[in-house]
Chains A and B, each alone.
Chain A
């Protein structure tokens, strides 16, 4: 399994992409494959504060439920409202239409602590 080279990653199988001053967050192909068909994504509201390592949302697949954990602390500046009616976008296009939230980090230093693609691939290989 290969992972897009322009993204940062977490051990919880989330990805982040720079979008100006904010960072877009989604889940990786590895996570999608493990979850199976996704039926519901519950996200925070725009303007909410999220805390690194704390739950910010819930993802339900046919078979299981998982929490989404904030990769960095910051303010939610956008959410992907389309997932409410089309949670299957996460399965179909996890790095594109299946994005979840945009976060404006409080501390840019937390971005530097994220995994690069090679480190994430090593993490996945060890699963």
Chain B
């Protein structure tokens, strides 16, 4: 099947991007600056990301609130109007269907942005559970999404919006006009930096991108490909669906207990997650740093081993790569809880070479306050 193109595809071509097939979409993996310079630009100035491949939908109707309450693990339904809430969608057995952000526009009107690779699955999931109780309106094909991230992102957007966006709190959103284009502007992101994600009409995307890039370039801003999007989110220990998150792992195991409100009432997966919490976890996601002398990178799928344990393989690496700003090689892995304390030495089989890594707690990169 021919990969889909976002409304910014011609723009990426003109900028000299290297395009790859990613989850059925033809997306920029890097621009001529390269992943490392792009990553550093987002940490020190700002970057623009085309994330139009993501899915967008509305759940609407007088009973939308009760459908949302049942679908989500976080307290989405009771959030104030204007809040953006990160949540998991779980199966009845507690596995993760997807992670996404809900935007509460009104008690009868929720927007949701979800992962590109899960669009069909999520829409089917929403429709199955909404049934006739509320409307599910898929707007993925008519909505473009541009993320603007970095310490200088809010300043640039505030100027382009006539001074309306700097006052928007973190994890809140507003309807706004940026460079003359109507957008939904949410103070969210996937980089560990401050910034916004702007949803606009497809037909406005190229002109909005051009205006944003014009404003960003003099400040050291760059367009950013999927390569740096992945290295930025890893440094900030943000999970990726398909790597850290899937239907075989629960949010509690993934360290996302803060987004699971077990006392909010019934929701899909609640019973199983309450049981798991009461019984205690057997495995959990940890961050690790490869020991400096090892000169190796542990990547997705590599085994975590204990040569003294029966069977030897005790866990698996879900993501790994160079820590572009924090240095060294970093990664995330599922390991038994007995190996999860900060400072624990792990052994990772890096393509046949046993490599020592150390468990580290918290984010690898923390934004300066």
Residues of A within 8 A of B (CB): 33, 36-37, 39-40, 42, 58, 60, 62-63, 65, 88, 91
Do A36 and B297 touch (CB < 8 A)?
A: no
B321 part of interface (Cβ distance < 8 Å): yes
Chain A nearest Cβ from B43, distance in angstroms = 15
> What chain B residues lie within 8 Å of A58 (beta carbons)?
296, 351
Do A63 and B321 touch (CB < 8 A)?
A: yes
Do B35 and A37 touch (CB < 8 A)?
A: yes
Given contacts A36-B34, A37-B36, contact A63 B227 (CB under 8 A): yes
User: Interface residue count for B (Cβ, 8 Å)?
Assistant: 18
B19 part of interface (Cβ distance < 8 Å): no
Do A65 and B321 touch (CB < 8 A)?
A: no
Do B35 and A62 touch (CB < 8 A)?
A: yes
State which of A42, A62, A91 has its C-beta within 8 Å of the C-beta of B322.
A62
Do B295 and A42 touch (CB < 8 A)?
A: yes
Q: Which residue of B lies closest to A91 (CB)?
A: B34
Given contacts A62-B231, A63-B29, A63-B227, contact A36 B295 (CB under 8 A): no
Q: Which residue of A lies closest to B298 (CB)?
A: A65
Do A65 and B35 touch (CB < 8 A)?
A: no
The A-B contact count (CB < 8 A) is 44
B324 part of interface (Cβ distance < 8 Å): yes
B187 part of interface (Cβ distance < 8 Å): no
Do B29 and A40 touch (CB < 8 A)?
A: no
> What chain B residues lie within 8 Å of A37 (beta carbons)?
30, 34-36, 227
B83 part of interface (Cβ distance < 8 Å): no
A92 vs B123: C-alpha distance in the bound complex, in angstroms?
45
Do B321 and A62 touch (CB < 8 A)?
A: yes
Do B30 and A36 touch (CB < 8 A)?
A: yes
B13-57 interface bits toward A, Cβ cutoff 8 Å, 1 = contact, 0 = none: 000001000000000011000111000000000000000000000
